[in-house]
């Protein structure tokens, strides 16, 4: 019996793919246990900051129609009862962004400090910013005519910024597209055509733009799509075979039980957790060691260009705080831009890009390539770490000018501390043991030190403290 059990457990473990004892056999769940370990994913992980761009014919009405204000997200205006579908579907005839200059956008992104960008090749309306041969509803049919995706890929790549392509599965322009599963034979045929069309377009994108690093999927929540788990899984494999190292988030496919993002065994589907949309996890443990990104709008919920931003608009200070918070939990933070119908980035966004860029020039070292540091969260800010250094980014300077840091029992200890921006020393005070038998240290900000922005203190350690990797190892 014992031998039998031992053999059974060995076999169960050899099944691989995180098949825990109580897990079920899945054909189309996660295909890997834990994080990817290849160089492509490592590069992505080190980006810290990204840019999202939502651009399409919805930028022309810019959230208004016939003088009426559309209260939804501007890129959804076609679905508004006040928006005649015919009018929307003819907007492409006016698409002529004479001010569009991909190099200008790319330089601005570079100055902002972004390392990767995600560009909408096709949003839910189905309008393609590349000249797809599978539909005429593309930029090639507009007065502008030129391939926008090509210009984006070339200009950003020339600046050393990795390009990922956003692609919506929802396509309101394709006659075979539907949200509910097809029922009648006729509907089945039409949906099959839609599937073939979708696959063709994705293959076309990877063929036309082979240097892209990833695909950012959206609109994959329709029941019709979810039911195609096996087919979507094989499509994903085909795309990966075309592009080595291709990065795909968890918003592409469901498992055969219809579970999205995390499969029926709780394992992350594909390469990173894509559920953090305008939302940041409470703490790193909820991520269970998985890679993730947070995509964030500057206004409340506007991705495409809306001429009239109402409600709270985030400042660069808000975004910098979110960025550091994400990187401190091993995530990337992606800020969205919605250029107008003529191809201009609006002044509010340009100011954000400039201000974030200024901060990143002084402090980016604390974020690029940095990882989570498993130290007790403190109210004054966030920890990141790399190469034996802890970076303490201070957002709430304590009135007594003393920053508390608790090092767990047995952990490496601080050797030296200084301001990142000018190398000026910061005094380290050994404050004895904390409650958990670890060490409490105080880092003394000189009372005369003035800073109008969040600042970083570098703490040189004997060696690295535990990182997010430990959550990963605990899981597998
Ligand atoms: C989708 C789009 O509908 C939207 O227009 C935009 O492109 C955005 C990036 O993605 O919107 C979503 C998708 C998922 C959630 C919320 C909005 N979600 O999971 O919470």
Structure confidence by residue, pLDDT tens digits, 241-251:
999 999 999 99
Domains parsed from the chain with CATH numbers: 27-366 (3.20.20.80), 373-461 (2.60.40.1180)
Would you call 169 helix, strand, or coil by DSSP?
Answer: coil
Please compute the mean of the pLDDT values over residues 169-185 and round it to a whole number: 98
CA 327 from centroid of its chain's CA atoms: 12
Please compute the mean of the pLDDT values over residues 20-24 and round it to a whole number: 78
Task: Say what the pLDDT of residue 19 is.
Answer: 52
Q: Pick the residue whose CA is nearest to atom 16 on ligand 1.
A: 277
The Cα 94–Cα 62 span in angstroms is 13
Residue 11 pLDDT > 50, yes or no?
no
Give the DSSP H or E segment for 331. strand 331-337
Q: Pick the residue whose CA is nearest to atom 17 on ligand 1.
A: 277
Distance from residue 145's CA to the centre of ligand 1 (Å): 28
Query: Which atom from ligand 1 is nearest to the alpha carbon of 274?
Result: 19
* Neighbouring residues of 89: CB distance < 8 A, sequence distance ≥ 6: 78, 173
- pLDDT, one tens digit per residue, over 134-144 is 999 999 999 99
Q: Answer whether 130's CB lies under 8 Å from 123's CB.
A: no
Q: Give residue 27's pLDDT band: very low, low, confident or very high (50, 70, 90).
A: very high
Distance from residue 218's CA to the centre of ligand 1 (Å): 7
**173 compared with 437, residue with greater pLDDT:** 173
Task: Say what the pLDDT of residue 468 is.
Answer: 65
Q: Give residue 470's pLDDT band: very low, low, confident or very high (50, 70, 90).
A: low
Please compute the mean of the pLDDT values over residues 187-198 and round it to a whole number: 98
Distance from residue 276's CA to the centre of ligand 1 (Å): 10
List pocket residues of ligand 1, CB cut-off 6 Å: 54, 73, 75-76, 218, 275, 277, 295, 303
Please compute the mean of the pLDDT values over residues 151-178 and round it to a whole number: 98
Would you call 211 helix, strand, or coil by DSSP?
Answer: coil
Task: Say what the pLDDT of residue 20 is.
Answer: 60
The Cα 357–Cα 112 span in angstroms is 4
Residue 476 pLDDT > 70, yes or no?
no
Residue 16 pLDDT > 50, yes or no?
no
Mutation test of ligand 1: which of 164, 277, 292, 298 has the most ligand atoms closer than 8 Å to its C-beta?
277
Q: Mean of the per-residue pLDDT values for the chain?
A: 94
Q: Pick the residue whose CA is nearest to atom 3 on ligand 1.
A: 219
- pLDDT, one tens digit per residue, over 248-285 is 999 999 999 999 999 999 999 999 999 999 999 999 99
Query: Which atom from ligand 1 is nearest to the alpha carbon of 52?
Result: 9
């Amino acid at each position: 019996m014992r031998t039998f059990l031992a053999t059974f457990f060995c076999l169960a473990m050899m099944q691989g793919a995180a098949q825990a004892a109580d897990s079920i056999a899945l054909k189309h769940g996660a295909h890997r246990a834990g994080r990817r370990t290849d160089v492509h994913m490592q590069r992505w992980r080190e980006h810290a900051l990204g840019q999202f761009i939502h651009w399409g014919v919805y930028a022309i009405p810019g959230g208004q129609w016939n003088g009426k204000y559309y209260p939804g997200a501007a890129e959804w205006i076609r679905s508004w009862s006040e928006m005649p579908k015919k009018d929307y579907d003819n907007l492409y005839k006016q698409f002529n962004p004479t001010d569009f200059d991909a190099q200008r956008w790319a330089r601005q992104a570079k100055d902002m400090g972004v390392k990767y960008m995600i560009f909408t090749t096709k949003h839910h309306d189905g309008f393609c910013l590349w000249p797809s041969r599978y539909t005429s509803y593309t930029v090639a049919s507009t007065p502008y005519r030129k391939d926008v995706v090509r210009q984006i890929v070339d200009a950003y790549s020339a600046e050393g910024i990795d390009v990922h392509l956003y692609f919506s599965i929802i396509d309101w322009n394709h006659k075979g597209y539907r949200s509910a599963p097809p029922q009648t034979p006729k509907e089945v045929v039409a949906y099959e055509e839609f599937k073939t069309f979708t696959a063709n377009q994705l293959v076309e994108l990877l063929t036309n733009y082979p240097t892209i690093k990833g695909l950012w999927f959206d609109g994959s929540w329709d029941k019709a799509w979810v039911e195609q788990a096996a087919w979507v899984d094989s499509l994903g494999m085909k795309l990966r075979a075309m592009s080595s190292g291709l990065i795909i988030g968890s918003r592409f496919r469901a498992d055969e039980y219809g579970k999205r993002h995390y499969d029926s065994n709780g394992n992350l589907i594909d390469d990173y957790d894509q559920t953090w949309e305008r939302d940041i996890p409470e703490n790193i443990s909820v991520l269970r060691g998985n890679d993730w990104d947070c995509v964030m709008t500057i206004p409340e919920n506007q991705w495409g260009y809306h001429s009239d931003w109402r409600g709270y608009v985030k400042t660069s200070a808000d975004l910098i705080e979110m960025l550091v918070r994400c990187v401190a939990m091993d995530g990337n933070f992606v800020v969205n831009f919605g250029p107008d119908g003529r191809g201009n980035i609006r002044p509010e966004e340009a100011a954000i890009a400039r201000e974030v860029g200024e901060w990143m020039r002084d402090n980016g070292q604390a974020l690029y390539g940095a990882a989570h540091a498993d130290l007790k969260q403190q109210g004054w800010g966030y920890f990141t770490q790399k190469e034996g250094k802890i970076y303490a980014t201070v957002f709430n300077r304590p009135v007594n000018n003393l920053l508390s840091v608790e090092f767990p029992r047995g952990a490496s200890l601080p050797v030296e501390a200084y301001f990142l921006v000018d190398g000026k020393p910061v005094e380290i005070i050994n404050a004895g043991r904390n409650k958990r038998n670890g060490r409490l240290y105080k880092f003394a900000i000189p009372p005369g030190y003035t800073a109008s922005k969040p600042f970083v203190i570098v703490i040189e350690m004997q060696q690295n403290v535990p990182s997010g990797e430990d959550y990963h190892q605990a899981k597998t």
